[in-house]
Amino acid sequence: MKLTVIGTGYVGLVTGACFAKLGHTVTCVDVDTTKVELINNGQTPIYEPGLEDLLQTYAHNLHATTDATTAIYQSDITFICVGTPSHKDGSIDLTYIQNSAAQIGKILRNLPGWHLIVIKSTVVPGTTDTTVRHLLETNSNKHANTDFGLAMNPEFLREGNAIHDFLTPDRIVIGVSDQKTADTLRHLYTGFTCPIIETSLSAAEMIKYASNAFLATKVSYINEIGNLCKTLNIDTYQVAEGMGYDHRIGRAFLDAGIGWGGSCFPKDIDALLAWVKDHHTTAPIITATRTVNQNQPLRLIPLLQKHVPKLKGKTIGLLGLAFKPQTDDIRESRAIPIATELLKHGAFIKAYDPQAMNNFKTLFPTIEYCTHPQEVLNSDAVLITTKWEEFSSLDFTGKIVIDGRRLDEAKKTARIYEGVCW
Ligand code: UGA
């Protein structure tokens, strides 16, 4: 099929590249000419393993442009993959979605024949059926469900695993409100062997939030159990293993530590809670999930002070700055509140991360960045904040290690070892 993808951020570009791999003709649209040029040169503006390869291998059926009108005229389906950032109060900022819907509406006005518009961006429940539908209909002077199709098809892509997650998903959710739209999307996803779940537009939107909030809750839950385990000298990882074999629970997302960060969980949970407030209701579990997560990274500091009571003038090593391994993304990284707190106490920081140091430098320009992780260990104590595989081969002998991510090698060899919640 012929597809237009609006927005070449992480979701849009992965979506476009994967559909190109599956044999579709894809046009990626972005207002940013630098990004458009990069993509057309087979380069990616973001770090995602395997993405550049796809852009180069499938360059014959993927190209980028700033011209949305021509792209949409020449395609059957348009995916909206623009960002949905947060307002200051945490609520969702729909500006880019609104601008895209209005622009597409204007293009639809003169477009002969039927076209399908699919929202892939994460939007709070009700957005597609109200805001998006309204903007498309008023700007096109046409009707959804008859003149054009409207769908909500959330993404479940993990950074660092996005291509694998796109090509071999656990499920595909298609929120629709008419049969032709459902049939068209089922046709697009022919060949995928996972369940394809057909829902209402708003249920599809809610599935995305409910999934992310559940995963975040699972992590906060095991962290809370871990905090209890720590006081009783119980190994939380043994507890997680024992729980995980119960197929109703599962072992995934029970890695206790300093909590969740990234561009998705924090933003989505804030947006969901702001939406809950807007609807004059409450969500005590999700609220607690966030509270546990806000407190969790700072638990490293008193543990550190147990062994290095006065932090002023001491050198503290930080191993890992990205919000998780395999990414250079530091958005809401747990290393941020920890570094802030250390500096507040007057400590010097020596840090290392294989991918994220340049990004971290923009927030913390004055701390020392090392060229090798072993240099970080040349300090009064070391905090492990991201579990990069290469940290397993470091020599922790004789060191004080306060571990936020459960690095077994450090546990075995450090002189003094404290896990954040085990
Ligand atoms: C998350 C979801 O996993 C994806 O399904 C979803 O599509 C994506 O958000 C999104 O909404 O776009 P991602 O943000 O890439 O993906 O990161 P995850 O791999 O889920 O990790 C999130 C955070 O939880 C990380 O900081 C990680 O270190 C932490 N985590 C995860 C734990 O602390 N313990 C665990 O057991 C698992």
pLDDT band at 317 (very low <50, low <70, confident <90, very high): very high
pLDDT at 130 over 90: yes
Reported for 32-38, long-range contacts at CB under 8 A and 24+ positions apart, including other chains, are 32/8, 33/66, 35/8, 35/64, 36/8, 36/64, 36/65, 36/66, 37/64
Rounded to two decimals, what is the model's pTM? 0.97
Which residues, judged by CB distance below 6 Å to any ligand atom, belong to the binding site of ligand 1? 155-159, 212, 215, 219, 253-255, 257, 259-262, 264-265, 323-324
Of 18, 215, 355, the one to substitute when testing ligand 1's pocket (max ligand atoms within 8 A of C-beta) is 215
CA of 265 from ligand 1 middle (Å) equals 7
Residue 18: the pLDDT is 98
Residue 165: the pLDDT is 98
Sheet holding 148-152, edge to edge: 62-65, 25-29, 2-6, 77-80, 115-119, 148-152, 172-176, 196-199
Q: What percentage of the chain exceeds 90 in pLDDT?
A: 98
CA of 219 from ligand 1 middle (Å) equals 9
Residue 58: both structure tokens together: 């499938």
Of 255, 264, 334, the one to substitute when testing ligand 1's pocket (max ligand atoms within 8 A of C-beta) is 264
Strand-pairing partners, residue 6, are 29, 80
Count Cβ atoms below 10 Å from residue 302 Cβ, excluding itself.
10
Q: Which of 18, 264, 370, 421 is catalytic?
A: 264
CA of 71 from ligand 1 middle (Å) equals 33
Mean pLDDT to the nearest integer, 165-176: 98
pLDDT at 422 over 90: yes
Reported for 407-411, long-range contacts at CB under 8 A and 24+ positions apart, including other chains, are 410/382, 410/384
Please give the mean pLDDT across all residues of the chain. Answer: 97
pLDDT at 46 over 90: no
Residue 124: both structure tokens together: 């709070």
The C-alpha atoms of residue 311 and residue 307 are separated, in whole angstroms, by 10
Mean pLDDT to the nearest integer, 274-279: 97
Q: In the 8-state DSSP scheme, what is residue 158?
A: P
The C-alpha atoms of residue 37 and residue 46 are separated, in whole angstroms, by 14
Residue indicated by tokens 């871990």: 226
Q: Whose CA is nearest to atom 3 of ligand 1?
A: 158
Q: Whose CA is nearest to atom 11 of ligand 1?
A: 264
Handedness of CA 319, 378, 390, 306 (dihedral sign): negative
Q: Whose CA is nearest to atom 18 of ligand 1?
A: 158
pLDDT at 174 over 90: yes
Mean pLDDT to the nearest integer, 382-406: 97
pLDDT at 47 over 90: no
CA of 41 from ligand 1 middle (Å) equals 30
218-257 residue pLDDT tens: 999 999 999 999 999 999 999 999 999 999 999 999 999 9
The C-alpha atoms of residue 304 and residue 316 are separated, in whole angstroms, by 9
The C-alpha atoms of residue 291 and residue 100 are separated, in whole angstroms, by 34
Strand-pairing partners, residue 49, are none
Residue 18: active-site member: no
Residue 245: the pLDDT is 98
The C-alpha atoms of residue 166 and residue 160 are separated, in whole angstroms, by 12
CA of 181 from ligand 1 middle (Å) equals 31
57-114 residue pLDDT tens: 999 999 999 999 999 999 999 999 999 999 999 999 999 999 999 999 999 999 999 9
Residue 70: both structure tokens together: 């021509």
| Cα 417–Cα 305–Cα 384 angle in degrees, nearest 5 | 45
